[in-house]
Structure 1
Amino acid sequence: MPRGYISIGSNIDRDKNIPASLQALEHRFGKLIVSSIYETEPVGFSGDLFYNLIVGFDSDLDVKEVAQQLRQIELDRGRTRDCQKFTARTLDLDLILYGNLVLRDEQLQIPRDEIERYAFVLEPLAEIAPTLKHPINHISYAELWDKFDKTNLKQKRITPSWMLTK
């Protein structure tokens, strides 16, 4: 059964949308492996700060079915599909890894390039899957994070108030 990893982000009603997304993901996929939450500055536009995190889950569903489930959760939380790439959003759920699958088609890219491009994806992934190796370059996520240029890092680990009540 492959383990999938999902990058989660929100900067609109993030204290409602992130917990709701975790609940929806757990309902659909079962037990989740959840990283810390990182507060990050927007990339490519000015706006409110994001919450970003990574969750892992095990599933025997087809990868396209998983992607469809993620799209539905986004829509359920008010996401519109007509928005530009770099804009504020209620919820962004991206399947970044699915086992050792390498897939490039018009609908899906796995592994996602964002893993190596953005600290808000790589740091939480390295936190929960440090020894896991990237399916293309075969370097562990901990090693990728160690080598990542942190010169202008604009994120920090936080504990939102809704996590304190758990």
Structure 2
Amino acid sequence: MNEVVVSVGSNIEPDKNVKLAKYNLSKTDNFVNESRFYITKPIGFTEQPDFLNGAFLIHTEDGFETFRQKLKQVEIDQGRVKQSNKNGPRCIDLDIVVWNRRIVDPDFYQRDFIKKTVLELIPDLKV
């Protein structure tokens, strides 16, 4: 069983889309816990609504790449369309931050809200 922390973000109907992502991931994987969620200002492209950001702790039988593809499929199923502006608005953004207690996303070190939510779920994570 693989232990995964997924960062979650949305600024298009965020409450609805975060709940839907949780539901969709719970259908195929063992949803363990979620962090608190925080309102954050957009980064880069600021002419858009604030984001709702948090994290999910999930146990999965999937390998890393299979699980990553599953997250991308959940994004697509929820209506996410990739834009030329990578910092633009989105209905849902799901990224693997920690895989089996190993930090795999550099945003952990660059964005305080990601670090805060991950450490809320795994307080003894070695950083």
TM-score by length of 2: 0.92
> Which structure is higher in strand share?
2
Partner of 1:41: 41
The Cα shift of 1:100 comes to 4.5
The Cα shift of 1:119 comes to 1.4
Partner of 1:148: none
Alignment of 1:74-85 (within 5 A): 74-85=75-86
Is the alpha carbon distance of 1:8 and 1:100 closer, same or farther for their aligned partners in structure 2, counting shifts above 3 Å?
Answer: same
Determine which structure has greater relative contact order: mean sequence separation of CA pairs < 8 Å that are 6+ residues apart, divided by chain length: 2
- Runs of 4+ residues over 3 Å off in structure 1: none
Cα distance between partner residues in 2 of 1:2 and 1:71: 18
Alignment RMSD, CA only?
Answer: 1.4
Partner of 1:30: 30
Matched residues, percent identical? 29
Cα distance between partner residues in 2 of 1:55 and 1:19: 11
Is the partner of 1:28 in helix, strand or coil?
coil
Runs of 5+ in structure 2 lacking a partner? none
The alignment covers a number of residue pairs equal to 126
Cα distance between partner residues in 1 of 2:38 and 2:63: 29
The Cα shift of 1:83 comes to 3.8
Runs of 5+ in structure 1 lacking a partner? 102-109, 134-138, 140-166
Partner of 1:155: none
